[in-house]
Amino acid sequence: MNQAAPLRQPIRAARPLPVDLRPFLLPLAVVGLAEVMALLFVPADSFSLAAPHQIAVEFARMLVDGTFLVRTLETLGAAMAGLALGGLLGLAAGVMLGLSEAADKVTSMTVEVLRPMPPTALIPLSLLVFGFGLTMEIAIVAFTTIWPVLVLGRAAVRETEPRLMEVAKVLRMSFFRRLTRIVIPGAIPRIFVAFRLAAAIALIVSVTVEIVANPRGLGYGMMLSSQALRPATAFAFLVWIAIVGWGFNRVLILVERHLFGGLQGDAR
Amino acid sequence: MRAIWFFASLAFTACLIGLWQLASATGLASPIFLPAPTRVLDALVAGFSSGAMPAKLGATTARVFVGWALASLLGVALGALIGVSQRARIYIAPSLEFLRPLPVSALVPIFIGLLGYSEQMVLAVIAFGAFWPCLLSTIHGFSAVEPRLYEVSKVLGLSRWSMIRKIALPSALPDIIAGMRVGLTVSLILVVVGEILGSREGIGYDILLAQRAFKSPDLFAGIILLGLVGYASAIAIDWLESRLVRWR
């Protein structure tokens, strides 16, 4: 016997199915309840609510006719461009502040004042400067993603093994060489985590910008159908936005696992 | 030594503002987009002396606080119920995880459809947005409680309620506060969305009007006030954390 008896009995000892179906019960129950409630209380031509089957029909239509595809690419494109810009700025600043304690202390007040700024407050400003379109969305996403990457990148650089830095000193490596050979490679797994978190934020911010102001992407599609008093379409967009957000995060987590596996959070 | 660094970082911030002033004075930055700091200060002073700005600031801050407080209470209560029960976690947690990355601002059109352009709509959006981080981190906090503590409480014959209050809650407190901190950030983001889309009087709606009228000093004044609210709330939650988790 190499199997020790479990200390705590699981809720259901035997699992007859390879897939655990229990997590699906709640969503199914919610959809079922919504369908019944909609049939009983919501008129078919309601301006604010729709029955799940109406939403499903709209969902399928937009999935097939390419509406979702076009709008998703617009949103993801803006989110990724903003992340690239903001992430690189944040990374550069984070590495610098992580390496130099003096620089970190001198800029601390500026960083602490700018960091809690709600990104939505910048929507009118970005609109004033850039007008409607891709640029204003990228600018806001970039501003938002600077901070998480800066903070986590700074922490990652600080974790650099001090002995490696001593070795670098002995070897008389230049600052640039030290950066590219020791500091950055050591910090890469944690920098990736920073970018993954920032990517999730970037997606949320771009949808928000589209909802509030910018006439493009998923957020605008949702806003438009809601203002056209087509709740089934609006809800279908909402479901799709949820799926995109979830799928996007899943992909990033899988990439992270694939690249760094068990190394996560390990300094080695 | 700390004082020196404080003044150094103050001086750095002042230098940046000085550069900004210089850029506007030399005409390097267009006054339409980037008004001089002195003009922004004038707009702030004018807004405060006329009494319009404090009222709007009060309305916005009240919305953030009420929505966030409501969400935190509900989030902790529900999170505790789900978190202490392994059975509930198996059934409910995956659905919550699925909804976690959903941008709450996407729900604003639906909330408007249900509640109209009303104060309740803005509050509901804020509360809903701040609810998720609080709920999820509370569940995490409760499920990460040392299992032996649960066993001890069983041996001691504690009721479920006193077990939550005396053992699980203190142990989950750091997670709960972390969730409340995220919730506060989300509230601040959503109050602007709610005010703009719902046309409710407040700083968020004010900056939209300033943008439409090309009054950039007013726009910057509003942005600075929102930034200050964010900064103040970050400090407040730091203080709360240091008070509540002092025993750690």
Q: Which CATH number do you get for residue B80?
A: 1.10.3720.10
- Verify whether the Cβ–Cβ distance A118 to B222 is below 8 Å: no
In a domain, B27, yes or no: no
Per-residue pLDDT at A81: 97
**Containing domain of residue A164, as a range?**
59-263
Which of B86, B188, B192 to probe by mutation at the A interface, max A CB count within 10 Å? B192
| Residue B13 belongs to some domain of the structure | no
Output the pLDDT for position A200: 92
The reply to whether B216 falls in a domain is yes
CB A141 within 8 A of CB A74: no
Closest among B217, B222, B225, B224 to B35, alpha carbons compared: B217
Binary contact (B9, A222; C-beta < 8 A): no
| pLDDT tens-digit series, residues A156-172 | 998 888 888 888 888 88
Interface touch A26/B190, C-beta < 8 Å = no
Given an 8 Å threshold on Cβ–Cβ distance, is B12 in contact with A223? no
Which pLDDT tens digits describe chain B residue by residue (248 residues)?
788 888 999 999 999 999 999 988 888 878 888 888 999 999 999 999 998 899 999 999 999 999 999 999 999 999 988 988 888 888 888 888 888 888 899 999 889 888 989 999 999 999 999 999 999 999 999 888 888 887 888 888 888 788 888 888 888 899 999 999 999 999 999 999 999 999 899 999 999 999 999 889 999 999 999 999 999 998 999 998 888 877 65
The contacts of residue A115 (CB under 8 Å, 6+ apart) are A147, A151
DSSP state of A121: G
Measured between alpha carbons, how far is A212 from B199 in angstroms, rounded to an integer?
A: 12
Asked if the structure places residue A15 within a domain, the reply is no
Give B-chain residues touching A120 at CB under 8 angstroms: 105, 189-190, 192-193, 196, 204
Total number of domains constituting chain A: 1
Taking residue A9's Cβ as centre, other Cβ atoms within 10 Å add up to 8
Are A120 and B229 contacting, i.e. CB atoms less than 8 angstroms apart? no
Among chain B residues, the shortest Cα distance to A28 is held by B95
Residues in chain A where the model's pLDDT stays below 70: 1-17, 262-268
Burial class (CB in 10 A: 0-12, 13-18, 19+), A242: middle
* In a domain? residue A78: yes
Is B17 among the domain residues? no
| Cα–Cα dist B182/A204, whole Å | 14
Domains held by chain B: number: 1
The answer to whether residue A42 sits within a structural domain is no
Of all residues in chain B, the one with the smallest CA distance to A128 is B211
Residue B2 inside a domain? The answer is no
In a domain, A45, yes or no: no
Q: Interface pTM (ipTM) of the complex? A: 0.89
Angstrom distance (rounded) from CA B200 to CA B119: 7
Give whole-number Cα distances, A179 to A95, A234, B169, in Å. Answer: 9, 49, 44
For residue A20, tell me if it sits in a domain.
Answer: no
Q: Tell me whether residue A217 is in a domain.
A: yes
Q: Are B75 and B138 in contact (CB under 8 A)?
A: yes
Q: Which of A109, A234, A249 sits opposite B9 (nearest CB)?
A: A109
Report the alpha-carbon distance of residue A160 to residue A156 in Å, rounded: 7
**Alpha helical stretches, state H, chain A:** 22-41, 52-64, 67-99, 101-114, 123-130, 134-158, 162-170, 175-178, 184-212, 217-227, 231-260
* Chain B environment of A8 (Cβ under 8 Å): 147
On whether residue A116 sits in a domain, the answer given is yes
Q: What pLDDT score does A3 carry?
A: 46
> Which CATH number goes with the domain that contains A211?
1.10.3720.10
Residue keyed to tokens 């930034």: B227
In a domain, B77, yes or no: yes
Q: Can you tell me the distance from the alpha carbon of B146 to that of B90, in angstroms, rounded to the nearest whole number? A: 18
Alpha carbon separation from A45 to A41, A49, A227, B117, B126 (Å, rounded): 12, 9, 15, 21, 29
Q: Which domain holds residue B82?
A: 36-43+55-244
